[in-house]
């Protein structure tokens, strides 16, 4: 089947009890076992049945199977948030004394995990520009165990060539490649097909699409997912709540039509902003002016709904614009049906110092837009009237 059919029907479970059209929600912490022998057996073979919802739950399992299907993975694992997925995935492939390499533009709390938490567990790191595979090659050490790439990267939308990085990484035994594909969703790219070992998503974003849950997911080989589940997820406990999994599955039914509209609207908004006199620079991979445009065309099925823009007049202008939008809500997060605007330096990327941010083009006058599925003309009109509030004399 093709993608729009798959997002609806793949791994859809039929309800044998009552024929419920929508998959039932198994909102339960534990499961009643038939007898002592089954209890002993299932506790030793947790993938053969359900015992306790931290080990597995039928609703979460249905969500995991759908994601595995859409990511062309053997298995997937649902978690309580994107960061739950990232920390569990990362911790399941490294140990104290290892070295990791990660991209210089990544989600703020992922940056905090790598630079503030893992060093306490004796995990050393090197930050590189992952759009340059040579820079990754140069950073590899004998104890390197992980290369971590976010593409498209938050918030400047840099695109890293997953295939080129995977080929390079796998010349070295024992190094894993993890790709955070949140901005693309499985609808726009499949990192495992390009050679990544694990793909992670914040399901809070496009997968759910309606801003009702926080959730995350990891997909990859059965061996790596089994290892992430037991003992890591089991011990860290960042399990996905069944109701959240159920809500994401409702949202995923429209993933295809949503992503297509997000892409279409974002292209229009990006073109409008690029031509606006109060905008210094637009970061959208669909624009030929974006340095990653060619890489995006090569590995993605669309350019997505996310962009950033540098507003002339710096932070004062940003304040005026962000206080003036009416259709774009001032909120962090992204990938919802409705449009959001946020200020990356003080919101999503506050964990970086100003020097660290400026080095990777996250400037003080930069806003990030999550372009929703409203009518594009209304979005453009909203930004136009908000930008007209800037009264500073720029030139
Ligand atoms: C939001 C986000 C995360 C973190 O996900 P949560 O669900 O908020 O924990 C990680 N990576 C990217 C690219 C994100 O946008």
Q: What 3-state class would DSSP assign to 203?
A: coil
Do 105 and 176 reside in the same domain of the chain?
Answer: yes
Residue bearing tokens 């931290």: 54
Domain boundary among 227, 252, 277: 252
pLDDT digits (tens, 9 = 90+) for 308-325: 999 999 999 999 999 999
Which atom of ligand 1 is closest in space to residue 84's alpha carbon? Answer: 9
Domain count across the chain = 2
Do 240 and 331 reside in the same domain of the chain?
Answer: no
Average pLDDT over residues 120-129: 98
What is the average pLDDT score of the chain?
A: 96
pLDDT digits (tens, 9 = 90+) for 208-263: 999 999 999 999 999 999 999 999 999 999 999 999 999 999 999 999 999 999 99
Quote the radius of gyration of the chain (alpha carbons, Å). Answer: 21
Do 246 and 270 reside in the same domain of the chain?
Answer: no
Residue whose CA lies nearest to ligand 1 atom number 5: 82
Contact 26, 58 (CB under 8 A): yes
Do 270 and 234 reside in the same domain of the chain?
Answer: no
pLDDT digits (tens, 9 = 90+) for 133-171: 999 999 999 999 999 999 999 999 999 999 999 999 999
Contact 102, 42 (CB under 8 A): no
Non-local (6+) Cβ contacts of 225 within 8 A are 73, 74, 75, 76, 77, 218, 219
Cis peptide bond upstream of 155, omega within 30: yes
Do 233 and 289 reside in the same domain of the chain?
Answer: no
Which atom of ligand 1 is closest in space to residue 110's alpha carbon? Answer: 10
Compute the distance between CA of residue 145 and CA of residue 64 in angstroms, rounded to an integer: 26
Do 9 and 89 reside in the same domain of the chain?
Answer: yes
Domain boundary among 234, 252, 270: 252
Contact 236, 184 (CB under 8 A): no
Do 298 and 338 reside in the same domain of the chain?
Answer: yes
Q: Is 182 in the pocket of ligand 1 (CB under 6 A)?
A: yes
* pLDDT for the residue 107: 94
Q: Is 204 in the pocket of ligand 1 (CB under 6 A)?
A: yes
**Domain containing residue 302: CATH number:** 3.90.1150.10
Do 247 and 278 reside in the same domain of the chain?
Answer: no
pLDDT band at 392 (very low <50, low <70, confident <90, very high): low
Do 161 and 272 reside in the same domain of the chain?
Answer: no
Catalytic residue among 98, 161, 180, 310: 180
Q: Is 370 in the pocket of ligand 1 (CB under 6 A)?
A: no
pLDDT at 274 over 70: yes
Closest to 390 in 3D by CA, of 360, 358, 367? 367
pLDDT digits (tens, 9 = 90+) for 13-71: 889 899 999 999 999 999 999 999 999 999 888 888 999 999 999 999 999 999 999 99
Residue bearing tokens 């938490």: 117
How far is the CA of 242 from the CAs of 23, 208, 211, 215, 229, in angstroms? 12, 14, 16, 11, 16
Q: State the distance from the centre of ligand 1 to the C-alpha of 265, rounded, in angstroms.
A: 22
Do 164 and 275 reside in the same domain of the chain?
Answer: no
Q: Please name the helix (run of DSSP H) or strand (run of DSSP E) that holds residue 296, with its range, or none.
A: helix 293-299
Average pLDDT over residues 337-355: 93
Q: Is 154 in the pocket of ligand 1 (CB under 6 A)?
A: yes
* pLDDT for the residue 43: 87
Non-local (6+) Cβ contacts of 307 within 8 A are 157, 266, 269, 270, 273, 282, 283, 284, 368, 369, 371
Catalytic residue among 26, 66, 107, 382: 107
Do 221 and 305 reside in the same domain of the chain?
Answer: no
* pLDDT for the residue 393: 54
54 is a catalytic site residue: yes
205 is a catalytic site residue: yes
283 is a catalytic site residue: no
pLDDT band at 391 (very low <50, low <70, confident <90, very high): confident
Do 358 and 215 reside in the same domain of the chain?
Answer: no
Q: Is 180 in the pocket of ligand 1 (CB under 6 A)?
A: yes
Contact 161, 368 (CB under 8 A): no
- Domain range for 291 is 256-394
pLDDT band at 91 (very low <50, low <70, confident <90, very high): very high
Catalytic residue among 66, 158, 176, 205: 205
* pLDDT for the residue 395: 46
Domain boundary among 252, 270, 304: 252
Q: Please name the helix (run of DSSP H) or strand (run of DSSP E) that holds residue 197, with its range, or none.
A: none
**Domain containing residue 50: CATH number:** 3.40.640.10
Q: What angle do CA 307, 312, 317 make, to 5 degrees?
A: 90
């Amino acid at each position: 089947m093709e993608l729009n059919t798959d997002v609806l029907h793949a791994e859809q479970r039929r309800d044998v009890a009552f024929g419920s059209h929508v998959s039932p929600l198994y909102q339960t912490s534990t499961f009643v076992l038939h007898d002592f022998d089954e209890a002993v057996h299932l506790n030793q073979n947790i993938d053969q049945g359900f015992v306790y919802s931290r080990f597995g739950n039928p609703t979460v399992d249905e969500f995991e199977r759908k994601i595995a299907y859409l990511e062309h993975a053997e298995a997937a694992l649902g978690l309580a948030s994107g960061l739950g997925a990232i920390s569990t995935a990362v911790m399941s492939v490294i140990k104290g004394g290892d070295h990791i390499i990660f991209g210089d533009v990544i989600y703020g709390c992922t940056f905090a995990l790598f630079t503030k938490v893992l060093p306490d567990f004796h995990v050393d790191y090197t930050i590189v520009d992952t759009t340059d595979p040579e820079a990754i090659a140069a950073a590899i050490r004998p104890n390197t165990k992980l290369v971590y790439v976010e593409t498209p990267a938050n918030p400047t939308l840099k695109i890293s060539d997953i295939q080129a990085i995977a080929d390079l990484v796998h010349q070295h035994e024992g190094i894993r490649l993890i790709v955070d594909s949140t901005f693309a969703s499985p609808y726009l790219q499949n990192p495992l097909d390009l050679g990544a070992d694990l793909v992670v998503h914040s399901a809070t974003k496009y997968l759910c699409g309606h801003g009702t849950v926080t959730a995350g997911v990891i997909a990859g080989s059965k061996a790596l997912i089994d290892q992430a589940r037991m003992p890591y997820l089991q011990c860290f406990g960042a399990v996905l709540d069944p109701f959240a999994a159920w809500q994401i599955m409702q949202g995923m039914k429209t993933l295809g039509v949503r992503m297509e509209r997000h892409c279409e609207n974002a292209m229009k908004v990006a073109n409008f902003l690029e031509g606006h006199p109060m905008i210094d620079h637009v970061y959208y991979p669909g624009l030929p002016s974006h340095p990653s445009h060619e890489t995006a065309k090569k590995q993605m099925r669309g350019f997505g709904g996310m962009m950033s823009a540098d507003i002339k007049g710096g932070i004062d202008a940003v304040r005026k614009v962000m206080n003036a939008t009416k259709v774009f809500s001032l909120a962090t997060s992204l990938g919802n049906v409705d449009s959001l605007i946020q200020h990356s330096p003080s919101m999503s990327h506050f964990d970086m110092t100003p020097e660290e941010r400026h080095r990777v083009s996250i400037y003080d006058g930069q806003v990030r837009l999550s372009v929703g599925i409203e009518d594009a003309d209304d979005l453009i009109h909203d930004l136009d009237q908000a930008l007209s509030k800037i009264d500073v004399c720029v030139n």
